[in-house]
Amino acid sequence: MAATSLPEAPRERRVTWSDPRAIARAGQGLAGLDFLRALIAGEVPPPPIVALMGITLAEAEPGRVTMRMPAGEYLYNPIGSVHGGALATLLDSVMGCAVHSTLPAGRGYTTLEIKVNYLRAVTEGSGCVTAIGRLIHAGRRQAVAEASLTDEAGRLCATASTTCLVFDLPARDDRSIRPEERP
């Protein structure tokens, strides 16, 4: 097999993020929707995963959240399309936030399961993809949400569903603060 030539120079992407513990503390006293709206307004910095992947939280209302992400080559897999795991992360985030948007202060959630149906490849030519998460069912201990992912032309690229565990958050204390930051 003949060797193929690689690009003349490797590409580079710089990512900066804020302390995730401080972000979590900022949201502890807020209802989920208020926290999401504070993120949109820039009053609270985005979580590190959002900064890493280039995700933008665009809209939040009770039970419905919209996020966008560029289909950049920095998210590519070895066959030349955006890695399915990157799309699953976006879908997981938007569905989790749809659940979060309905929770009162002091309640949290985590993903119990996720199912993704990939319908078409996503590449740079897809432009910015849009994920919309919708709450389907909210119980005291579990919530169910679904999401759709479309490309810039409005073509459906993936769908997903999730079940989330809903729980009481631990009381605010110094455990979420690094030892060197404690008074």
pLDDT in tens, 102-129: 999 999 999 999 999 999 999 999 999 9
Structure tokens at 3: 């060797």
Residues 37-46: pLDDT tens digits?
999 999 999 9
pLDDT band at 171 (very low <50, low <70, confident <90, very high): confident
End-to-end CA, the chain: 62
Report the pLDDT averaged over residues 134-147.
98
| pLDDT for the residue numbered 183 | 47
* DSSP state letter for 127: -
| pLDDT for the residue numbered 124 | 96
| pLDDT for the residue numbered 8 | 78
- Residues 6+ positions from 128 with CB-CB distance below 8 Å: 68, 69, 70, 71, 152
Structure tokens at 104: 């009162």
Domains parsed from the chain with CATH numbers? 20-174 (3.10.129.10)
182 has a pLDDT exceeding 80: no
What residue spans of 2-120 are helical by DSSP H? 20-28, 32-41, 48-53, 84-100
Q: Nearest 5°: CA angle at 33, between 32 and 35?
A: 65
Residues 3-61: pLDDT tens digits?
667 667 888 999 999 999 999 999 989 999 999 999 999 999 999 999 999 999 999 99
